[in-house]
Chain A
Amino acid sequence: MSLVFAGVCSHAPGITGRAKLADPKLRDDLYASYDRMRERIEATKPDALIVVAAEHFANFFMNNMPAYCMGMAEQYEGPIEDEDWLAIKRRTVPGNPGLSQRLIRSVMEDTDLAYAEEWKFDHGIMVPLNFLTPRYDLPVIPVNINCQGPPLTPLHRAWRFGRALRRACDEQPERIALIGTGGVSHWPATPDSGVINEAWDHEFLDRFINNRKDALLSYTDEETFRDAGQGGFEIRTFITVAGATEGSIGELLIYAPIPIFAVGCTVAIMNIGERPATEALLETA
């Protein structure tokens, strides 16, 4: 079939683990936005969900760090974190190795990526799944972009990876949903945790929602680090989704800065169904 859904969301561990410490109104609005995203995903009746994540040293380390990696396992497990700390129970998550293998072969025509038949999910994937596939009955295909240990893949490569991923999805008979998950500005797990650069976030999300490629790719890592923290490097996951939905316009379901969650919490959907991407591309050409 093809790609049937695309969106992005936050994955900060505080969203579940520190839920009781947040302003209840802000928290509940955020949770309602995840629910809306889940309903939109379910309405597209996907056969699998690709999660483009920026993991946090759960599987990949500086001894052999892939810029891009896709899971190819029968099943995955997570979270690696203490269950009470994250407030998510450890469990197995189904995969689809056959589909993974076909996607990997196709993406490799354009982008070199590693694969992994073993993968332990951390909060970066488990927090989104907790809201979006709460019964854990939808096969998940994890993708990782190294956003933690520089050198990092350039932004224009993340965009190109997204395009390759879109083409790979469109070649498959399955109905595929895609989410990217990462932070906008944040300084997670440091003494600056809770700092949020709202102006920077609004500007970035405007570029993302309107799929402004040149503007999205114009950030340097030095600027991002200065203005959006080391957590800002995770915009690569958003940019991959933007590349996969080139020519589409998005819808921001929520942007809510919640310091105890250490990030401006974001849920957004790209309206890929409204018009064919090729048509939109012709208009912008």
Chain B
Amino acid sequence: MSLYYVQKLLYQLNRDSHTQQRYREDFEGLLAEYELDDEERDALRDGDIGLLYVMGVNGQILMHYSALIGQEWHEYIEAMKDGVKQHGPVRGGLYTLLEERDQ
């Protein structure tokens, strides 16, 4: 679990045109530069918003990434809801507190 590096990759991807070019042309090379586990690499390869949300990626980072990969707003919201249904509650980061609130 390396939530920090998942978020760091997405942060740089969201803001930096050079990283966006590498995302399109050499995604595996880009992934290899970050300390990620297999589940994280797969979630990033698949653009799996739901799983990334459950891992604990900050929604602001995730929302910009969702825009980058061309999701409509309702698709983004649904993907997070589906992620929680499929993978269970948020595992890390700020939103674990949301889960605690709801319990």
* A residues lining the B interface (CB < 8 Å): 13-14, 17-18, 21, 56-59, 61-63, 80-82, 85-86, 120, 122, 148-150, 187-193, 225-226, 230
Q: Is the interface of B mostly helix, strand, loop or mixed?
A: helix
B80 close to chain A: CB less than 8 A: yes
When the two chains form the complex, which single residue of B8, B63, B67, B98 contacts A188, counting CB atoms closer than 8 Å? B63
Q: How far is the CA of A17 from the CA of B64 in the complex (A)?
A: 12
Minimum-distance CB pairs A-B, first 4: A189-B59, A56-B60, A85-B67, A189-B63
CB of B67 within 8 A of CB of A82, answer: yes
How far, in Å, is B26 (CB) from chain A's closest CB?
21
CB of B77 within 8 A of CB of A57, answer: no
Name the B residues within 8 Å of A58 (CB-CB): 14-15, 64
The size of the chain B interface, using a CB distance under 8 A, is: 27
Q: Is the interface of A mostly helix, strand, loop or mixed?
A: loop
CB of B64 within 8 A of CB of A57, answer: yes
Give the contacts of B24-80 with A (CB-CB under 8 A). Answer: 53, 58-64, 67-68, 70, 73, 77, 80
When the two chains form the complex, which single residue of A148, A149, A190 contacts B95, counting CB atoms closer than 8 Å? A190
Q: How far is the CA of A281 from the CA of B98 in the complex (A)?
A: 40
Name the A residues within 8 Å of B97 (CB-CB): 225
Name the A residues within 8 Å of B70 (CB-CB): 82
CB of A18 within 8 A of CB of B73, answer: yes
